[in-house]
Homo-oligomer: A and B are copies of this chain.
């Protein structure tokens, strides 16, 4: 434990001094659910809250990575430093994110003011959104002005991931009848800005009209009506306007008080996620590997007992055992 603490302390110092290798190491420790990561996160926390966090999501093929590359270039032109976190929740098995993302981001790989990191699913207990939120925090403490989180839409886990963002961009492309359905079904409600990318394709204007029509009938919209922008990430068309809109949204959040409110909600969600994870871990540490636990599972699978009663019983015992 002495060693762990030492290493956490060293990493924290390194991250705060802008050491990229320490930053990368700490994010790896987070993914590995190493105990020293928690210590480091705990002491880095007070150095966070300075970055503007931008989420970019959308269906596969909507050109998200190219879009992120262009947005980054525009922020660099405006002399902002940028962190990029590419999340690939669709890969719970391979334990790593798509190589493609890294390759596409290569344009910025020699720029020391851009930090790029891919994250896949490791560990368990819904780890990815917790890991992503922790990684964003570390990049925030590291000092990047802008953090872009890119993830494939539109499942529930993606929505959870993107909730760390202050401003969420939902990207879509012209055509494909099912697309509009996909947006309707899932990510419409979380979009602060819509982007119809690949504006050179037929049907781009029609798509913009469709999204605006959906927004017209949205009952839950607040004071911010999400703008629908046309971009062509390949040529860079519309990117400047997009970055301007992100700024406008940020101003809106600050002035309306939404910024503080989102921060409070985020703190609550994060605290509860952490507690769920840690408390369950305590319980499972006691149970796993004991022959009694194995027998209970065996009985359930043979239908001699049911999981609902067994869960109640094991939890009651766990809580009682704390008396000793």
A residues with a Cβ closer than 8 A to B are: 38-39, 41-43, 45-46, 48-49, 59-61, 88-94, 98, 100, 121, 125-126, 128, 152, 154-159, 176-179, 181-182, 185-187, 189, 260, 263-264, 266-268, 270-272, 274-276, 278-280, 282-284, 296-298, 300-301, 303, 306-312, 314-315, 318-320, 322-323
Contact = CB atoms under 8 A, between A and B. Distances in A.
Contacts of A39: 308
Contact of A181 (B60, B178, B296): B60
A264 B298 contact: yes
A41 B309 CA distance: 10
Most buried by B among A38, A267, A312: A267
A189 B296 CA distance: 29
Contact of A311 (B92, B275, B312): B275
A274 to B, nearest CB: 4
Given A297-B268, A297-B271, A303-B49, A90 B311 contact: no
Contacts of A318: 279
B303 A48 contact: yes
Nearest to A38: B308
Contact of A185 (B88, B186, B323): B88
Nearest to A128: B156
B125 A276 contact: yes
A306 B45 contact: yes
Given A88-B185, A128-B156, A275 B271 contact: no
A60 B260 CA distance: 37
Given A275-B314, A311-B274, A92 B156 contact: yes
